[in-house]
Amino acid sequence: MPTVLVVDDDESIRSLVRYRLTQAGYEVLTAEDAIVAGHLVLGRPPDLIVLDVNMPYMDGFEFASALKADSTLPFIPIIFLTVEEDGQDRAKALDAVGYVSKPLDDQALVALVRQHLA
């Protein structure tokens, strides 16, 4: 069963995404910020990360850059979640496999996850 890490500082978003992805047949780990997510990734790299852009301590773009710079980690596809207007361009620059705008379209997110974990 593929594992998806959902990183978002909003508990309601984490819960919704966890529920929808669990129903779709994925194992789901959650983290409320990049610090917790970093520990999870180092302990057991997930198959895909759903990553909020606006978070405390380190934003999603900074976190994605740090993951990409760590040569000890395998490539982990990232789907960004954000309300930022320029987020799509920044996500592409970080080789993100997808980008979903908030308010969240959970069906589109599940479809995007399926596409990259098929």
Q: Give me the DSSP letters along 99-113.
A: EEESSP-HHHHHHHH
In a domain, 33, yes or no: yes
Candidates 81, 7, 5; CA nearest to 48 is 5
pLDDT confidence of 94, banded at 50, 70, 90?
low
Taking the chain, what is the end-to-end CA distance rounded to the nearest angstrom? 11
Residue 107 lies in a domain: no
Q: Say if 99 falls within a structural domain.
A: no
In tens, the pLDDT along 52-91 reads: 988 988 999 899 999 999 999 989 999 988 776 655 555 5
Could you tell me if residue 29 is inside a domain? yes
Encode pLDDT of 8-31 as tens digits. Answer: 999 999 999 999 999 999 999 999
CATH number, domain with residue 47 = 3.40.50.2300
Is 2 within a domain? no
Tokens of 29: 């780990």
Q: Is residue 22 situated within a structural domain?
A: yes
* Domain count across the chain: 1
Q: How far apart are CA 7 and CA 58, in angstroms?
A: 12
Residue 32 covered by a domain: yes
